[in-house]
Structure 1
Amino acid sequence: MGRVVLVTGVAGDPGAGFVRMIRDEPDVDRVIGVDMVAPAAEPAGVDFVLADIRNPMIAKVVASAAVDTVVHLSPSELPPIRGGAVSIKETNVIGTMQLLAACQKAPSIRRLVVRSTTAVYGGSPRDPALFAEDTEPRVQPSTGWAKDAVEIEGYVRGFARRRPDVAVTVLRFAPLLGPRTDSPMGAYFALPVLPTLLGYDPRLQFVHEDDLREALRIAMLADRPGTYNIAAEGVLFLSQAARRLGRPVVPFPAAAVGLVNQGLRRAGSVHLSAEQVRLLTHGRVVDPARAREKLGFVAVRSTAETFADYAEGRRSTGLLDPRRLAQVPDRLADLLLTRRNPDG
C-alpha cells in the first residue's frame, strides 16, 4: 500500500503546485490538502479539507485518514488573508504546535517534513561568509517570520525526541523567487524604485519555486532525517539585481526605515519587514552541501538564473535599460585605466 500524504498550506503556491506534483507519484496512494481558505481551483486528484490547523480538530483529520506522511507548508512569511502580525504568529507557531500534537497521537505517522527558512541565521555585521546548518547565529532573530521559524524548529526538535520512530526533516529555504509564486522578495523587486540601506550592498541568494517543490518532493520520499539548507548556488549583490532589472535605487539611512514604510503603505505597496531590512543590510549566504550530499538535492537553477527567470516571467523591466546599466562597470574600468595610462 502506498503513502497517505497530508500537506498543509495548499491554497496558493508553493503548496498548490506541490500537491499537483506529488499526486501522480507511484508511491503515493492519496494526497490530502489542508488550508484555512479554499484554493482558487481545487487540484484534481487531491482531497481538499477546509480546516484551520490551529484548531485541535486537525487531529481527527490525521487519524481518520491514517496519514503516514505530513508535509507542513503552512508556516509562512506572507500575511494571512485576514488579520495582522498576531494572526501570522498564531498561524505559524500555534498552528504548528497543534499539528505536531496531532502527529504525536497518530501511530500511523512515519515521516514529517517541515518548511523553515534561512532567516533563522539572523542578520549581523559579524555574520560568517557562509552559513552551515550547525552555525549559530551571531544575533538571534527577535521579530517576525524569522523568530517564528526559530520557535517552530524548537517544537519540531521536541517532537522528534518524543517520536524517534518518525523521520523528521526540516528544510531551511533561501528567499523564494519565481515567475508564479508570491514572495516578499518578489514583491520588493517589483517596486518601480528600490529602497536600499545607505552604505550597504548585500550578497543575496535565492531558491527557485520549482527547486523548492523538488526539494520537498525528495524530502517526502527519502528517509533522510535532519536539517538542510535549500538554496541555489552563487550569489547576486543587490546592486547587480537592480541593474539587471533596470530599477533605480534610493538609499536611505537605517533610522529612516519607519518613514520609508509609511511611504510604501500610503502608496499601497509592500511593507519592509524587520527580516527584509536585515537581509537588505547584511545579506545572507548558506552552504547547500549537506542537502547535496545527504539528501540528494541539487538546485537546477543558480541564483542568477533564478533571478533572471523571475524577471522574465514577471516581465519586470524598470525605468532604466538593464543592458546599458550592465555596461557601466566596464566603462568605468576602461576610464580608470585610461587615466592611469594616458600614453597606453
Structure 2
Amino acid sequence: MSDDTQQHAPRSVLVTGASTFLGGYLVARLAANPAIERVVAVDSRVPRKDLMRRMGRAEFLRLDIRRPAIAKAIATYDVDTVVHAAPSIMDDVEHSAAIKELNVVGSMQVCAACQRSPSVKRLILRSSAMVYGATAKDPASFTEGTRARREPRNGYGRDLIDVEGYVRGLSRRRQDIDVTILRYQSMLGPRVKTRMGGYLSMPLVPTAFGFSPRLQFLHEEDALAAMEHATLRPRPGTFNVSGDGVVTLAQAVHRAGHVQLPVAPSLIPPLIGVLQDGGVPMIRSEHTAYLTYGRVLDNTRMRSEFGFEPKYTTLETLDDFITRGKTEPVLSANTWRDFEARAVATATALQ
C-alpha cells in the first residue's frame, strides 16, 4: 500500500448494499486491508454464504436503509466513511414501486444520517450513466457537466437523478464531508449479473432496425477497483467511470457469435420477453432508447482528477465476458471467418 493510501485510509467504513456484487466484494476488499480498523456491511438481505465468508472480519448488520436504524448504525460504529452501493440493485432486479422507495427513500435516510453524524467525513455514491438518458441528439460523448437532452422520466435513471440531488444537497449542508459520485458505464463480467450481460447472452438478439448504437463497457474488476479507490483516497466530485474505446452493438453481438434480429425499436422489449430463457433480466421500454441510440462517456476526469486507470478497455471487457462468461456462440469464430473470406472473395470477383 502506498504512503498516500495509508495517510488517507478511512478508520471506520460502512457499506450499504452488501448483498450485491459491488457492495459485497468491496466489503471483502476493505476487510482485507489492515489499515482500516472497522468495516460494517449493511443490507436488508443476507449475502450468499460464499460472499459472507469472503467478508472476513467485517461486521454484517441486517437492516433496511429506509429506516432510522441506519443512523443508529453510523453512530454506534463511529463511521467516518459511508459507501452507498445499494443502488447497484438495478443490475438484476426489475424496477418497481418498492425498488424506487429503496433507492430514493433509502438514499434520503442515508444522507440524513450522514448529515447528523459528526464522525462522517466521506460519502461515496455508486451512480450510473443512466442519468444522461439516450436520444438521437446526444453528443458524441457525455462529460460530467453535460446536461441530458431528455432526462429519464422513470425507472432507475430517474431514481439516480434524485439520489444524486440528495447527495449534492448533503455536500452543501455539510461542507466538511467529501462527496464522490461515480457514474458507472454498463458493467460486464463473468461473475456479475447485469441487464446488458443477459441481453448479449441471448442467442438471437433483437436490435433496433436501421440503428447502430455505440456502446462502452466497464469491467466488473474495474468497477470494484474504482469504488475501492474512492474509499481509500478522498477525491470529491462527480466522475464518469468507463473503459476506453467504443464498440457498436452489432460488433458486440458478432463477437459473441450470436445473431441479430433487427426489429422496430418498440418491439425489442416484448421480443426479449418471448425469447428469454428465464435467466435474462427483462429489458423494459425505458431501456429501448439506450439500445437504439447508445451512450458513450468521456472519462478524461476519471484519470486527471479522480486518478483512476482501468485495466480493461471496452473491447477487452467484452471479450473477457464472452470468453469466461456463460454465453455460448450460435456461430463459431471459424464460421464467421469463413463467411468473411467468402464475402471478400465475392466482392473482389465482382469488381
TM range (shorter): over 0.9
What displacement does 1:317 show?
Answer: 2.0
Structure 1 residue 324 corresponds to structure 2 residue 332:
no
User: What is the letter of the counterpart of residue 153 of structure 1?
Assistant: E
Distance 1:16 1:265, change over 3 A: same
Match of 2:69 in 1: 57
Tell me which of 13, 36, 42 is aligned to 2:21.
13
Contact 2:20 2:86 in 1 (8 A): no
Separation of aligned partners in 2, 1:297 and 1:209: 15
Identity %: 38
How many residues end up aligned between the 2 structures? 338
Tell me which of 239, 244, 247 is aligned to 1:236.
247
User: What is the letter of the counterpart of residue 120 of structure 1?
Assistant: V
Single out whichever of 137-146 and 255-264 deviates more from structure 2: 255-264
Tell me which of 35, 54, 65 is aligned to 1:27.
35
| CA offsets 1:201-238 (integer angstroms, 9 cap, x no match) | 21110100100111011111112100000000011111
SS at match of 1:75: helix
Tell me which of 64, 75, 81 is aligned to 1:69.
81
What displacement does 1:250 show?
Answer: 1.0
Distance 1:2 1:271, change over 3 A: closer
What displacement does 1:331 show?
Answer: 4.9
Contact 1:243 1:322 in 2 (8 A): no
TM-score, normalised via structure 2 length: 0.91
Separation of aligned partners in 2, 1:258 and 1:300: 33
5 Å matches for 1:145-184? 145-184=156-195
Separation of aligned partners in 2, 1:282 and 1:28: 43
Distance 1:18 1:268, change over 3 A: closer
Structure 1 residue 196 corresponds to structure 2 residue 204:
no
Structure 1 residue 186 corresponds to structure 2 residue 197:
yes
Runs of 4+ in structure 1 displaced over 4 angstroms?
264-269, 326-331
Match of 2:97 in 1: 86
Match of 2:317 in 1: 306
Contact 1:143 1:274 in 2 (8 A): no
User: What is the letter of the counterpart of residue 100 of structure 2?
Assistant: K
Separation of aligned partners in 2, 1:316 and 1:255: 25
Single out whichever of 100-109 and 320-329 deviates more from structure 2: 320-329
Contact 2:190 2:324 in 1 (8 A): yes
Contact 1:75 1:92 in 2 (8 A): yes
Separation of aligned partners in 2, 1:167 and 1:56: 23
Contact 1:179 1:310 in 2 (8 A): yes
Gaps of 5+ in 2: 1-8
Match of 1:39 in 2: 47
Separation of aligned partners in 2, 1:266 and 1:296: 41
Tell me which of 127, 139, 142 is aligned to 2:150.
139
Contact 1:234 1:304 in 2 (8 A): yes
Single out whichever of 181-190 and 269-278 deviates more from structure 2: 269-278
SS at match of 1:124: coil
User: What is the letter of the counterpart of residue 195 of structure 2?
Assistant: P
| CA offsets 1:85-139 (integer angstroms, 9 cap, x no match) | 1111111111101111111100000010000001111100011111111111111
User: What is the letter of the counterpart of residue 71 of structure 1?
Assistant: V
Match of 1:120 in 2: 131
Single out whichever of 214-223 and 164-173 deviates more from structure 2: 214-223
Single out whichever of 56-65 and 19-28 deviates more from structure 2: 19-28
Match of 2:4 in 1: none
Contact 1:62 1:106 in 2 (8 A): yes
Single out whichever of 278-287 and 324-333 deviates more from structure 2: 324-333
Match of 1:259 in 2: 270
Single out whichever of 313-322 and 185-194 deviates more from structure 2: 313-322
What displacement does 1:262 show?
Answer: 4.4
User: What is the letter of the counterpart of residue 46 of structure 1?
Assistant: A
Distance 1:257 1:240, change over 3 A: closer
Match of 1:108 in 2: 119
Separation of aligned partners in 2, 1:153 and 1:254: 29
Gaps of 5+ in 1: none
Separation of aligned partners in 1, 2:346 and 2:31: 58
Contact 2:269 2:283 in 1 (8 A): no
Aligned residues: CA RMSD: 2.0
User: What is the letter of the counterpart of residue 329 of structure 2?
Assistant: G
User: What is the letter of the counterpart of residue 66 of structure 2?
Assistant: R
Separation of aligned partners in 1, 2:10 and 2:60: 19
Contact 1:264 1:270 in 2 (8 A): no
TM-score, normalised via structure 1 length: 0.93
User: What is the letter of the counterpart of residue 87 of structure 2?
Assistant: P
| CA offsets 1:175-204 (integer angstroms, 9 cap, x no match) | 010000111111111212111111112111
User: What is the letter of the counterpart of residue 202 of structure 1?
Assistant: P
Tell me which of 250, 257, 264 is aligned to 1:246.
257
